[in-house]
């Protein structure tokens, strides 16, 4: 045991009236919601990078946090892992997620980085023998090191493509070894800064080929988890190729990979793309792409990917309503790709940010489930389309333009506008949140 979290108790459910900071007021893992345990609905994951690797820097200043594991050695990396698992235990977190670069020191060569990753993977495996926390997903950091400044798979330099492939292979291997339930590809710098130096067509071909290799490799080694792409429209690149769910779907179709890959949708990325989070979730579900979520918000004033913990129950309820409608998570879960603020120096801040985020999500889930079980909203929605269930109307969907045109004349069709009832539905919604 390290003494990093000294004095901080195990966090338990104490109910909505508890005044104990280190308690859940709404997240009650064993409570049944629609017949399923809350923990199994939400499937919370701690993001290793923000909580343990990030040093508190922003574009105007560097490190603010002082952590005993900040350093370049394998011993530092192991201490970081030990403290991380102590936090998972305090929170009773069912999952965590990590990138290679968060977990191991960078080596002087690829071979050395690989050895470091393998050693840390074994260390994680050993920790997981006595911890209940599982791996939700693993991923590769293909965006921090300067070698990736012009992209990874979409780099103009084929050697970077090769290096990225080797890196992703090593991260899939680590994820597989740790029993990870998904493997995520976020295209950090798969995009461009200026079209003046960019060949869009080549870069798309490279990205398609890369993803095909990843999918083939997954099958070759018998990795049963899902491969997930995480869309984001910009930042760090000016324009990123995996812009949003619709764009990812088009990309997957183009390369014939739509049955193989799903999406990890991040709340803040959806907003950056000019959508709502629930839009991205509903669209993914309707396209058969829904996989997992990153539940971190941006600051609405700064228009920047600030990765804050969720604090808005009504907003999160919209999201979990879509998750529940989609049938809930299978391999996916709720990852907090969220970081505490750079002034939040205390070890307790790391714990309390998660406690708050988990409670907000739990409240949102409860509200969403109550509304779904009530059924009024779904009834109102299906009533709105009910006329489409009549055979004469359904037939139009496979008819010709002339046949439909003739029908208007024969039946003297003259549509009468009907209310969309938005405010009524908003009032209904607000009764539940
Ligand atoms: C950055 C992304 C990143 C991915 C994992 O904006 O959200 O954290 O989730 O590489
Ligand atoms: Ni993000
Ligand atoms: Ni993310």
99 classed as catalytic: yes
One domain for residues 268 and 402: no
102 classed as catalytic: yes
One domain for residues 39 and 187: yes
End of a domain among 374, 404, 420? Answer: 374
Token pair listed for 383: 């009533």
Tell whether ligand 1 has an atom less than 6 A from the beta carbon of residue 186.
yes
One domain for residues 403 and 260: no
One domain for residues 354 and 391: no
User: Is there a domain that residue 352 lies in?
Assistant: yes
Helices (H) and strands (E) in the chain, counts: 16, 16
Please report, in tens digits, the pLDDT of each residue of the chain (433 residues total). Answer: 899 999 999 999 999 999 999 999 999 999 999 999 999 999 999 999 999 999 999 999 999 999 999 999 999 999 999 999 999 999 999 999 999 999 999 999 999 999 999 999 999 999 999 999 999 999 999 999 999 999 999 999 999 999 999 999 999 999 999 999 999 999 999 999 999 999 999 999 999 999 999 999 999 999 999 999 999 999 999 999 999 999 999 999 999 999 999 999 999 999 999 999 999 999 999 999 999 999 999 998 887 889 999 999 999 999 999 999 999 999 999 999 999 999 999 999 999 999 999 999 999 999 999 999 999 999 999 999 999 999 999 999 999 999 999 999 999 999 999 999 999 999 999 999 9
User: Is there a domain that residue 161 lies in?
Assistant: yes
User: Is there a domain that residue 77 lies in?
Assistant: yes
Q: Is the peptide bond before 236 cis (omega within 30 degrees of 0)?
A: yes
pLDDT of amino acid 183: 99
One domain for residues 308 and 397: no
Q: How far apart are CA 297 and CA 96, in angstroms?
A: 19
User: Is there a domain that residue 7 lies in?
Assistant: no
Q: Which of 102, 266, 292, 334 is the best mutation target for the ligand 1 pocket, counting ligand atoms within 8 Å of the beta carbon and taking the most? A: 266
One domain for residues 286 and 414: no
What ligand 1 atom has the least distance to the C-alpha of 97? 5
One domain for residues 332 and 409: no
User: Is there a domain that residue 4 lies in?
Assistant: no
Token pair listed for 433: 């949140």
Helix (H) or strand (E) holding 192: strand 191-192
One domain for residues 114 and 166: yes
Domain, as residue range, for 131: 12-374
Q: How far apart are CA 123 and CA 40, in angstroms?
A: 26
What ligand 1 atom has the least distance to the C-alpha of 186? 10
One domain for residues 416 and 349: no
Catalytic residue among 102, 242, 244, 305: 102
What ligand 1 atom has the least distance to the C-alpha of 49? 8
User: Is there a domain that residue 2 lies in?
Assistant: no
User: Is there a domain that residue 156 lies in?
Assistant: yes
| Residue 248 · residue 263 · CB < 8 Å | yes
User: Is there a domain that residue 18 lies in?
Assistant: yes
End of a domain among 374, 395, 417? Answer: 374
One domain for residues 244 and 297: yes
One domain for residues 407 and 282: no
Tell me the pTM.
0.97
Quote the number of domains for the chain. 2
Q: What is the CATH number of the domain that holds 364?
A: 3.20.20.150
One domain for residues 368 and 391: no
């Amino acid at each position: 045991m390290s003494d990093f979290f000294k004095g901080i108790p195990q966090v338990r459910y104490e109910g909505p009236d508890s005044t104990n900071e280190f308690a859940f007021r709404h997240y009650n893992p064993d409570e049944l919601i629609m017949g399923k345990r809350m923990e199994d609905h939400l499937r919370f994951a701690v993001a290793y990078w923000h909580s343990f690797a990030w040093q508190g820097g922003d574009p105007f200043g560097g490190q603010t946090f002082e952590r005993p594991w900040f350093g370049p050695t394998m011993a530092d990396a192991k201490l970081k892992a030990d403290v991380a698992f102590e936090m998972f235990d305090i929170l009773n977190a069912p999952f965590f997620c990590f990138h290679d670069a968060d977990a191991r020191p960078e080596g002087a060569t690829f071979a050395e980085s690989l050895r470091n990753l393998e050693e840390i993977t074994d260390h994680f495996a050993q920790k997981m023998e006595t911890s209940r926390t599982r791996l939700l997903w693993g991923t590769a950091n293909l965006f921090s090191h300067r070698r990736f400044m012009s992209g990874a798979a979409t780099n103009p330099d084929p050697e970077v493509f090769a290096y990225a492939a080797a890196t992703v292979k090593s991260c899939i291997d680590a994820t597989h070894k740790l029993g990870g339930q998904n493997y995520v590809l976020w295209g950090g710098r798969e995009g461009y800064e200026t079209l003046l130096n960019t060949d869009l067509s080549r870069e798309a071909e490279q990205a398609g080929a890369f993803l095909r290799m990843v999918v083939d490799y997954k099958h070759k080694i018998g990795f049963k988890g899902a491969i997930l792409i995480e869309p984001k429209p910009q930042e760090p690149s000016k324009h990123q190729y995996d812009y949003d769910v619709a764009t990812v779907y088009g990309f997957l179709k183009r390369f014939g990979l739509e049955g193989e890959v799903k999406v990890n949708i991040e709340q803040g990325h959806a907003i950056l793309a000019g959508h709502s989070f629930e839009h991205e979730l509903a669209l993914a579900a309707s396209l058969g792409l829904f996989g997992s979520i990153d539940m971190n918000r941006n600051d609405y004033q700064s228009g920047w990917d600030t990765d804050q913990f969720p604090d808005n129950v009504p907003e999160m309820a919209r999201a979990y309503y879509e998750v529940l409608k989609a049938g809930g998570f299978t391999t996916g879960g709720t990852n907090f790709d969220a970081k505490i603020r750079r002034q939040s120096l205390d070890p307790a801040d790391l714990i309390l940010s998660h406690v708050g985020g988990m409670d907000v999500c739990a409240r949102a889930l409860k509200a969403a489930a109550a509304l779904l079980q009530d059924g009024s909203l779904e009834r109102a929605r299906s009533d709105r389309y009910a006329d489409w269930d009549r055979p004469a109307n359904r037939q139009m969907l496979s008819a010709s333009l002339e046949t439909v045109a003739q029908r208007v004349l024969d039946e003297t069709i003259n549509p009468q506008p009907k209310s969309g009832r938005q405010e009524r539905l908003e009032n209904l919604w607000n009764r539940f949140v």
